């Protein structure tokens, strides 16, 4: 099975412009993501998809494969589809790897791809929530599961609401999961997703995966115990820099 890893990397960002080129321990964030993804045993090829010449030049400079894509894409999903079209590669699946998670573990990617059997349309990673701050943080989307393990709904709110129980007791009563934004798409499904119009739930929550659910696609979830460290702001970069310093000092 041929699985293509694609890392969307925009230059423009409202909260953190040029974050793909931000330095962490002597290497750019995008280089660290590429090097981590290349260690995943299940990925046949890793490609950066960007809309900016500065990122293209930088990635090519450290030996990474990079494709220039349109600056008009609304999501990483759309950017992934353009890469598939440009490369003309007959991949079975595409894994969308977040360009702002420099310490993504290859094991996370391999865990996600372990459920790609040709029948699975879409898959994503989730992780149990064990602290109230994450549960109540609207910037950390949550997911509700069906008995099959497929996603029923994603929300920025903590759902389900546990009636009659104080919020501080919710984690002791129910298992909540946060969504880790690593996606796998079967390539024929990916082509269809990019043609779907925006949906009401997607617009309400600002979560593109709700568009897929509203249109009847199934998203299989895979539980991981590994933490993710996404970088959305310069403050996040400082925290991740501290984490990196701690890692290399051990």
pLDDT band at 157, cuts 50/70/90?
very high
pLDDT reported for residue 244: 66
CATH topology assigned to domain 3-249: Spore Coat Polysaccharide Biosynthesis Protein SpsA; Chain A (3.90.550)
Distance CA 246, CA 138 (A): 28
3 state SS of 97: coil
Neighbours of 57 (CB within 10 A): 11
Per the structure block, which two tokens stand in for 112?
Answer: 């996600």
* Across 217-226, average pLDDT: 96
Per the structure block, which two tokens stand in for 117?
Answer: 């059997």
Model-level pTM? 0.92
Q: Is residue 93 over pLDDT 90?
A: yes
**CA-atom Rg of the chain in angstroms:** 18
pLDDT reported for residue 30: 96
**Pairing state of beta strands 3-9 and 151-155?**
unpaired
Tens of pLDDT, residues 48-68: 999 999 999 999 999 999 999
Map out the domains of the chain as residue ranges.
3-249
Q: How far is CA 76 from CA 69, 82, 170, 210, 216, in A?
A: 11, 10, 33, 15, 20
Q: Is residue 111 over pLDDT 80?
A: yes
Distance CA 118, CA 80 (A): 19
* Across 1-26, average pLDDT: 88
Per the structure block, which two tokens stand in for 19?
Answer: 């974050």
3 state SS of 178: strand
pLDDT band at 13, cuts 50/70/90?
confident
pLDDT band at 12, cuts 50/70/90?
confident
* Across 125-146, average pLDDT: 95
């Amino acid at each position: 099975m041929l699985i293509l890893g694609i890392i969307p990397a925009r230059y423009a960002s409202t909260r953190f412009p040029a974050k793909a080129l931000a330095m962490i321990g002597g290497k750019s964030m995008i280089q660290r993501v590429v090097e981590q993804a290349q260690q995943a045993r299940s990925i046949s090829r890793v490609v950066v998809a960007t809309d900016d010449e500065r990122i293209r030049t930088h990635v090519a400079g450290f030996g990474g494969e990079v494709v220039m894509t349109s600056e008009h894409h609304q999501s990483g999903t759309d950017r992934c589809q353009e890469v598939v079209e440009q490369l003309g590669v007959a991949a079975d699946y595409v894994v969308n790897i977040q360009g702002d998670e420099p310490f993504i573990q290859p094991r996370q990617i391999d865990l996600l791809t372990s459920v790609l059997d040709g029948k699975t349309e879409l898959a994503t990673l989730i992780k149990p929530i064990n602290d109230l701050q994450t549960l109540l943080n609207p910037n950390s989307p949550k997911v509700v599961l069906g008995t099959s393990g497929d996603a029923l709904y994603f929300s920025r709110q903590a759902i389900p609401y546990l009636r009659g129980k104080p919020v501080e007791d919710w984690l002791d009563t129910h298992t909540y999961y946060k969504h880790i934004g690593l996606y796998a798409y079967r390539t024929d499904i990916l082509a269809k997703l990019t043609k779907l119009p925006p949906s009401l739930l997607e617009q309400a929550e600002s979560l593109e995966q709700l568009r897929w659910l509203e249109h009847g696609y199934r998203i299989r979830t895979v539980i991981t115990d590994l933490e993710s460290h996404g970088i959305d702001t310069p403050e996040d970069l400082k925290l991740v820099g501290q984490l990196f310093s701690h890692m290399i000092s051990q």
